[in-house]
């Protein structure tokens, strides 16, 4: 038995409102927590891996979000509703779904698909299911709505679309690429504790002379320095940010100043460092987003560490497009021995890391 006319009208209105909210939320969420951060992250993590150039990705992201915003508005009005608005809504969801399907098959169902930005993280499979349901609602509306009720003011559609796209460009203006170097916070030269082998009962320090795979015998003494094994030195690629980071044990962190999880991770690292005098030195690379919060960040962390501030795009490239903050790398002679990123399965674990930094090299093999 079919629905009566009033029930069907209410159902149609409800579905239109639901779809409108979906598109509006998708557009707004991609600008959270700030337009420059959110858009750059979306471009670096979603568009550039698809083959977009940086410049094209910047234009495409703003135009795409503007179109989503426009569709969210147009789904609530009668002009060209069945002729154009519904088909365009279905098409954009179909394209998103095709990409999500490819992503699931190619890389698995992991990470944030970016559909709702950082506001509502979703896995590719969750986003695909959401899109399929939305496409089903659009199909129902297309089958049910009478095309003769369409009003035909095409100029209104163009005005709403143009205004929506323009508003995104105004909220998140295109950034002019600068050739200026990254912002550096100078630090005093420090003596690496890792480069010193102490023999307590002799009071002897062999400074700046790490011993690799060897035995040192002290003249006129029967004492032998314990064999010390270390990984072979290599270039990590981070020397441009911190001189000497490829010597001995170091901890390199990738943090966003306003990120609660980053602040908590820094606080835990400080606790480990205070409890262990031989704890590796900590260096931090901050993304240039809410950089004014860095003093507050160090206050929460309980200590101030050597750090640098780099632009958002470069930050994601250095950390890795598929990774997320907080990022923590444990380096030993330039070798990445352990890495953490994000807040899910690869998140930083304080108890585990405490054991890792005290682990002998021969135990890594």
Task: Convert the pLDDT of each residue in 108-160 to its tens digit.
Answer: 887 778 888 878 888 899 999 999 999 999 999 999 999 999 999 999 999 99
Answer yes or no: is pLDDT of 3 > 80: no
Q: Are 308 and 182 in contact (CB under 8 A)?
A: yes
pTM of the model: 0.70
Q: What is the pLDDT of residue 222?
A: 55
Q: Kindly report the CA angle at 296 between 293 and 297, in degrees rounded to 5?
A: 80
With cut-offs at 50, 70 and 90, classify the pLDDT of residue 362.
Answer: confident
DSSP string, 303-352: S---EEEE-HHHHHHHH-TT--SSEEEEEETTEEEEEEESSSTT---HHH
- Stated as kind and residue range, the H or E segment containing 99 is helix 86-107
What pLDDT sits at residue 204?
33
State the pairing for strand pair 327-332/197-199. Answer: unpaired
**Residue pair 40/312 in contact by the 8 Å Cβ criterion:** yes
Instruction: Kindly give the interhelix angle for 35-42 and 54-74, rounded to the nearest 10 degrees.
Output: 110
Length of the chain: 365
User: How would residue 224 be classed by pLDDT, with cut points 50, 70 and 90?
Assistant: low
Highest mean pLDDT among 37-46, 263-272, 337-346: 263-272
Whole-angstrom distance, CA of residue 24 vs CA of residue 44: 22
**DSSP strand pairing (281-287 vs 307-310):** parallel
Per-residue pLDDT at 225: 53
């Amino acid at each position: 038995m079919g629905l009566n006319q009033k029930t069907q009208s209410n159902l149609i209105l409800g579905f239109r409102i639901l779809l409108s909210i979906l598109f509006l939320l998708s557009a707004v969420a991609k600008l959270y927590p700030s337009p420059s951060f959110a858009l750059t992250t979306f471009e670096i993590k979603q568009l550039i891996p698809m083959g977009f150039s940086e410049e094209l990705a910047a234009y495409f992201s703003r135009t795409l979000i503007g179109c989503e915003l426009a569709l969210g508005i147009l789904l609530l009005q009668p002009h060209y509703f069945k002729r154009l608005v519904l088909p365009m809504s279905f098409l954009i969801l179909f394209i998103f779904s095709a990409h999500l399907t490819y992503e699931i098959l190619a890389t698995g169902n992991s990470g944030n698909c970016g559909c709702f930005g950082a506001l509502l993280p979703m896995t590719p499979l969750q986003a695909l299911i959401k899109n399929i349901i939305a496409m089903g609602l659009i199909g129902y509306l297309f089958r049910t709505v009478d095309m003769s009720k369409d009003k035909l003011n095409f100029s209104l559609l163009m005005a709403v679309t143009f205004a929506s796209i323009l508003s995104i460009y105004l909220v998140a203006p295109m950034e002019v690429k600068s050739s200026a170097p990254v912002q550096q916070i100078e630090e005093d030269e420090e003596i690496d504790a890792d480069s010193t082998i102490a023999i307590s009962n002799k009071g002897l320090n062999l400074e700046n002379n790490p011993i690799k795979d060897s035995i040192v015998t002290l003249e006129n003494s029967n004492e032998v320095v314990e064999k010390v094994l270390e990984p072979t030195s290599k270039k990590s690629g981070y020397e441009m940010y911190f001189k000497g980071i490829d010597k001995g044990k170091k901890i390199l962190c990738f943090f966003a100043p306003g990120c609660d999880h980053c602040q908590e991770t820094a606080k835990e690292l400080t606790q480990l460092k205070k409890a262990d005098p031989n704890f590796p030195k900590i260096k931090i690379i901050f993304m240039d987003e809410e950089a004014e919060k860095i003093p507050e960040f160090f206050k929460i962390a309980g200590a101030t560490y050597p750090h640098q501030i780099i632009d958002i795009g470069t930050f994601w490239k250095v950390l890795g497009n598929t990774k997320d903050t907080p990022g923590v790398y444990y380096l030993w002679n330039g070798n990445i021995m352990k890495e953490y990123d994000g807040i899910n399965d690869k998140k930083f674990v304080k108890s585990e890391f405490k054991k890792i930094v005290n682990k002998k090299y021969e135990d890594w093999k």
